[in-house]
Amino acid sequence: MTEYLDARQQLLTREQLSARNRQAADNHQILNPPLESGAAVLKGSFEVTRLRAGLVLHRADVEDLHAMTIQATLNPGLTLALVMDGCADISYGRQRFLLGPRRGGGKLLREGLLTSFAEADSFSRRSQRGGSERTVSIGMAPEWLEDGGLAEFASYASVMAFSRRHLASLCWRPSARAIALAEQMFRPPRHVDSLHRLYLESRALEFLIEALSASSLAVNPPQHKGLRLKEYQRIDRLRALLDSGEADQLSLEQIASQAGINANTMQRQFRAVCGSSVFEYLRERRLRQAQQALERDGASVSEAAAIAGYSSPANFATAFKRKYGIVPKLARARLS
């Protein structure tokens, strides 16, 4: 933690900023104000990491030292950005976005932005002195999209269709797991260099899978199930709500109210898209969380039962074996 806090006090000059951005963008420049060589422009941590050919991770936790406009040229591919804190005033081509968390219903809501560049186009960022931003973003070049293992991804065709629509954009509400992955990319454990990069790549890939799955509904919804695009998008937002854990203690009617739909219609449409009822989906999700707690964290069977929402470890063990084919104690034993 001390290492991270110290990094937030570092000063970044305009030359350092340009050098790091050149890994992912061309023609990087500060349009205004005019600054002397060696002038500090940002305070904090700004890292650009090439995870593999065509896959680049950006992490910025910075405070702006000037009111300025930064411009660069982004090459073809997809860009995924999530502003965790602060605000980002950016433009892709002629499209302008104000990204950052907002308050809604007494809670902090975050939205990621997935944008397609079918051809090279401009990127710009405007900032005010004293403004701050904590952002994780991932750039995916066409060669990575084609050869990076996505061919076996269920929504591969939809993702590729999305990538061919220049400046197409999709807002996506990340789950609690995606937020946790972003935090892990900001604060990775101390590893040797090779494992450090592998750790970041594993988190970035899981992060991407969730966002790219969301893009499939916007590009190629399965119309044979009788739902319109807006209805699919609403169910996708509902699924993100369920994945966030915010609906765990809500009644069916309360969940439907959050989704802006009546309970009967919600159940019918959710089953058409997801193949289960809302509560069956929640139960499955909590069982997956319990499985992860057993296998990754070494949780006891009683602790895992509580995570899954079971007051009886015996009932939890029965449900767990029905789902995964082994008793929870054996899942935990696989740690050793």
Tell me the sheet residues that pair with 109.
Answer: 102
Say whether both 98 and 243 belong to one domain.
no
Q: What is the pLDDT of residues 63-89, one digit of tens each?
A: 999 999 999 999 999 999 999 999 999
Q: How far apart are CA 230 and CA 225, in angstroms?
A: 13
Which residue would you say has higher pLDDT here, 244 or 266?
266
How far separated are the first and last CA of the chain, in Å rounded?
Answer: 29
Same domain, 324 and 184: no
Residue 202 and residue 231 in one domain: no
- 161 and 295 part of one domain: no
Averaged pLDDT for residues 214-219: 55
Average pLDDT estimate for 34-55: 89
Q: What range does the domain containing 285 cover?
A: 280-333
> With bands split at pLDDT 50, 70 and 90, how would you rate the model's confidence at 4?
very low
100 and 173 both lie in a single domain: yes
Q: Are residues 53 and 148 in the same domain?
A: yes
Same domain, 196 and 249: no
Percentage above 70 pLDDT, the chain:
88
Looking at the 3D structure of the chain, how many domains does it have?
3
Highest mean pLDDT among 92-96, 153-157, 324-328: 92-96
The per-residue pLDDT for range 130-187, each reduced to its tens digit, is: 999 999 999 999 999 888 767 666 667 778 878 888 998 888 888 888 899 999 999 8
Q: 35 pLDDT exceeds 70?
A: yes
- Average pLDDT score over residue span 281-292: 85
| pLDDT exceeds cutoff 80 at 271 | yes
The mean per-residue pLDDT over the stretch 257-286 comes to: 87
CB 158 within 8 A of CB 219: yes
Residue 219 has pLDDT above 70, yes or no: no
